[in-house]
């Protein structure tokens, strides 16, 4: 059940199919480029990266201990 307490925008709902199609192409080509670079040994590891990737790591999710600060 959706409680409509703000306007999601009709145009925004319709356009998502198109946005997704374009995103699909971008992701596919990036992936292909990455694989090519990997094949030719052009991939550099960036150790200065502040943010990790989008996936939540399962080891974080499963830990039962309290999260302790360092």
Partner 1 sequence: MEANKQHKSSFRDPSGFVFLEDGIVKRKMFPNYFPVYNKLSELQFYNKLFNSGLLIPHKELSASDSEIILLPEQIPFITYPYEWSFLQFKEAALLTLKLQKYCLLNEVTLKDASAFNVTFHNGKAVFIDTLSFDLYIENTPWRAYKQFIMHFLGPLVLSYYHGSQSLKLMSTFIDGIPLPMLTSMLPFKTKLSPTLYTNIHLLAKFEDKHNEDTHGGSTAYSLSKKAQLKIIENLYDYIKNLHLKEETEWSDYYSKINYSDKAFQQKALIIDTWIQKSKAKTLIDVGGNDGTFVRKLSQPIDHALVCDIDPNAIDVNYKKIKERKETFITTFVLDVLNPSAGIGFENAERESFINRARNFEPDVTLALAIIHHISLSGNVPFKRSAQFFALFSKKLIIEFPDRNDSWVQRLLTNKSDFKDHFDFYNITNFETAYLERFELIEKLKIEDSERTMFLLKRKES
Q: In angstroms, what is the minimal distance from the CB of 62 to partner 1? A: 7
Tell me which residues touch partner 1 (CB under 8 A). Answer: 1-6, 8-27, 30, 50-51, 53-57, 60-64, 67, 69-70
Q: In angstroms, what is the minimal distance from the CB of 20 to partner 1? A: 4
Name the token pair of 50: 């502040």
Count of C-beta atoms within a 10 Å radius of residue 62: 7
End-to-end CA distance of the chain: 41
Q: In angstroms, what is the minimal distance from the CB of 39 to partner 1? A: 21
């Amino acid at each position: 059940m959706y409680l409509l307490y703000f306007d999601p925008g009709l145009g925004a709902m319709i356009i998502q199919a198109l946005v997704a199609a374009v995103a699909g192409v971008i992701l596919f080509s990036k992936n292909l480029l990455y694989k090519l670079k990997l094949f030719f040994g052009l991939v550099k590891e960036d150790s200065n990266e502040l943010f990790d990737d989008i996936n939540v790591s399962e080891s974080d999710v499963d830990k039962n201990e309290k999260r302790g600060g360092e």
